[in-house]
A and B are shown apart, each in its own frame.
Chain A
Amino acid sequence: MAASKLVSFLRTYKQNDMAVLGLVILGFSCALAVLAPVISPYDPFEQTNKLFSPPNLEHPFGTDNLGRDVLSRVVWGTRVSLLFGFGVAGISLALGIVLGAIPGYFGGLVDDLFSRFFEIYLMIPTLVLIILIISIFGTNLFFIMIIVGVTLWPSNARITRAQVLALKSRAFVQASVGSGASHLRVIFTHILPNGIYPVIVNSTLQMGNAILTEASLSFLGLGDVNQVSWGQILYVAQFHVKTAWWMAVFSGFAIMMLVLCFNLVGDGINFVMNPRLRRRTGDAGS
């Protein structure tokens, strides 16, 4: 049953060229991340006396201000970015599902409180908040991951809440409630499996957002200096744009490709799961 569902999912997914492209880039990035020690030609931390060499055969992406090989650093950076993206999206997903299902399912005061909270949340410039916290508490990668994850969950919660609200009055859910199932059982076995896909789509997009946020923080000097991340490379690159364009160009391009693939995959899942997007509606082209 599950396998045939997957096959039919993939069959529809395949119709969307862009989504397939996204999946290919994602696969490629995962391979890079896993195989980084094998693929990267040099140690990403190894400093040499060849400072600022432009791209050449020996160093295809050139070297940086400390003579480190930029290609190796970009390859290793894939690890940090992927880890960061999945970590943040995972935290945000877990918090969002729990904190969205509760107000959606129980309604009443809890739901009012959540709605008020969400309105307030929308008005808070989260980037500034993250910057304030990170600059005071320090720049450990896992700490940054938690903080970013904790600031992203409300959008997942809002979507989960709407889905729970829409599904809880449906006959199959009511039947389960009527036959005495516990609240937890109703939520987790009947409501969520049927309403989870918009949350998954949102999480995919959040992975992209998380990677961009990490890059932004690093660019502002709030990255984890013990990690090789694309944001770190860009942070150093900004001081040498005039002399060493290659430092900025390749790492930024890598960020763009990874974020792009998450956006394309997110759109792709949406395309499969939301039949309204596939039907041609409103004959606007004539």
Chain B
Amino acid sequence: MGEYVIRRILEMIPVVLIVIVFNFTIVHLAPGDPAVILAGERATAEYVEATRKRYGLDRPIHEQLILYLMSLMRGDFGDSLAYHRPVLELIVEKIPATLLLVLTSQLVSMVLGTLIGALSAKKYGSRTDRLISFTSVILYSMPVFWFGLILILVFGITLRWFPIWGITSPEMQLSGWGQVVDILWHLFLPVVTLSAAYLTPIFVRLSRSSVMEVMKEDFIMAARAKGLTENVVFFKHALRNALLPTVTQAGLLLGFVLSGALMTETVFGWPGLGRFMYESIFRRDYPTLMGLFIITSVCVAVASLITDIVYALLDPRVVYK
């Protein structure tokens, strides 16, 4: 097991390297002077020159790449053009909010999606099955941010049940449990958006097909032949085995989940990576956008590593190679 984890961690190195080389190439292929891109279009001539020195942009290209790699290793992702603070610091501050949104939505979607998908498979071909399939393909076809806007219109602006912006209500000056409830209240619409229009339909589909596959297995026939009731066969034998492929897929979908979260945050002013990215696009803050690309890639790689380990722990049939 230990060996497997180490091997997986080593496998992350090429991912990170490729991402870094991508970043480097983009800046050098971009029209204009790389130093101006990194220093900002409105920077003074001195600041542009200082930036050129800092990244060694006056040296040969291979030296530049090595310098860039080394500064990234030291945790130096450059300074944000908008905040004049280190990019890495700013990004790390935004991670918890995104994590809260992603994990909550992922959990809700996995539980709901698996159950709905299993129900659909159990009633295969029935009216219920068709209704579930059609609803999930409709939800899946919506732009996630549009669904968010509609929820804001209906539940935020018209009915006034939920707040439409941010993560807390600073004007209420809450603390302790009051603050927790306040955050959950703000979390509700973003989670519904990300789950309903993005994640749950995928899990419904995955779980439906995987339950249908499992129902064809010999051990299901054996369970039926033993005279077990259909419910026992379904819940104890079929559903439990059908869960595993769903977990694997969940691991593969992380990059996709992150994209959805970024868009959802934008609509709800959720103060995580997505909102930060949106602001950085507006402010043409390229060092921040580049940092965001590296950090989100690392996050996805780490999260997929964790998923693989959890999967290996759940399924005794998995052999570590």
Instruction: Report yes or no: B141 in contact with A256, Cβ–Cβ below 8 A.
Output: yes
Please tell me which one of the listed residues B22, B126, B140, B149 contacts residue A129 in the complex, with CB atoms under 8 A apart. B22
Instruction: Report yes or no: A234 in contact with B282, Cβ–Cβ below 8 A.
Output: no
- List chain A residues, Cβ under 8 A from B122: 284-285
Instruction: Report yes or no: A259 in contact with B22, Cβ–Cβ below 8 A.
Output: no
B7 → A minimal CB distance (Å): 13
- Using CB atoms, name the residue of chain B closest to A117: B18
Contact string against B for A residues 112-129, beta-carbon threshold 8 Å, 1 for contact and 0 otherwise: 000010011011111111
- Using CB atoms, name the residue of chain A closest to B302: A123
Is B176 in the interface zone, CB < 8 Å from A?
no
Please tell me which one of the listed residues B19, B124, B138, B263 contacts residue A216 in the complex, with CB atoms under 8 A apart. B263
B32 → A minimal CB distance (Å): 9
- Using CB atoms, name the residue of chain A closest to B31: A137
Instruction: Report yes or no: A234 in contact with B143, Cβ–Cβ below 8 A.
Output: yes
A126 → B minimal CB distance (Å): 7
- List chain B residues, Cβ under 8 A from A170: none
Interface of B (DSSP majority class) = helix
- The count of A-to-B residue pairs whose CB atoms sit within 8 angstroms is 162
- Using CB atoms, name the residue of chain B closest to A211: B143
Instruction: Report yes or no: A131 in contact with B289, Cβ–Cβ below 8 A.
Output: yes
CA distance A181 to B81 in the complex (A): 60
Asked whether A132 and B293 contact (CB < 8 A) given A124-B15, A238-B149, A248-B150, the answer is yes
Instruction: Report yes or no: B292 in contact with A128, Cβ–Cβ below 8 A.
Output: yes
Instruction: Report yes or no: A125 in contact with B15, Cβ–Cβ below 8 A.
Output: no
Is B60 in the interface zone, CB < 8 Å from A?
no
Is B146 in the interface zone, CB < 8 Å from A?
yes
Interface of A (DSSP majority class) = helix
B194 → A minimal CB distance (Å): 14
Is A197 in the interface zone, CB < 8 Å from B?
no
Task: Give the contact stretch, choosing among B48-56, B62-70, B106-114, B252-260.
Answer: B252-260
Which size class do A's interface residues fall under? 35 or more
Instruction: Report yes or no: B289 in contact with A234, Cβ–Cβ below 8 A.
Output: no
- List chain A residues, Cβ under 8 A from B27: 136
Contact string against A for B residues 244-276, beta-carbon threshold 8 Å, 1 for contact and 0 otherwise: 000000001011001100110011000000000
CA distance A57 to B196 in the complex (A): 34
B249 → A minimal CB distance (Å): 11
Is A281 in the interface zone, CB < 8 Å from B?
yes
- List chain B residues, Cβ under 8 A from A260: 137-138, 141
Is B199 in the interface zone, CB < 8 Å from A?
no
A219 → B minimal CB distance (Å): 5
Residues on B facing A (Cβ under 8 Å) = 11-12, 14-15, 18-19, 22-23, 26-27, 30-31, 37, 121-126, 133-134, 137-138, 140-143, 145-146, 149-150, 152-153, 157, 211-212, 214-216, 220, 230, 234, 238, 252, 254-255, 258-259, 262-263, 266-267, 277-278, 281-282, 284, 286, 289-290, 292-293, 296-297, 300-301, 304
Residues on A facing B (Cβ under 8 Å) = 18, 116, 119-120, 122-129, 131-133, 135-137, 208, 212, 215-216, 219-222, 234, 237-238, 241-242, 245, 248-249, 252, 255-257, 259-260, 263-264, 267, 280-286
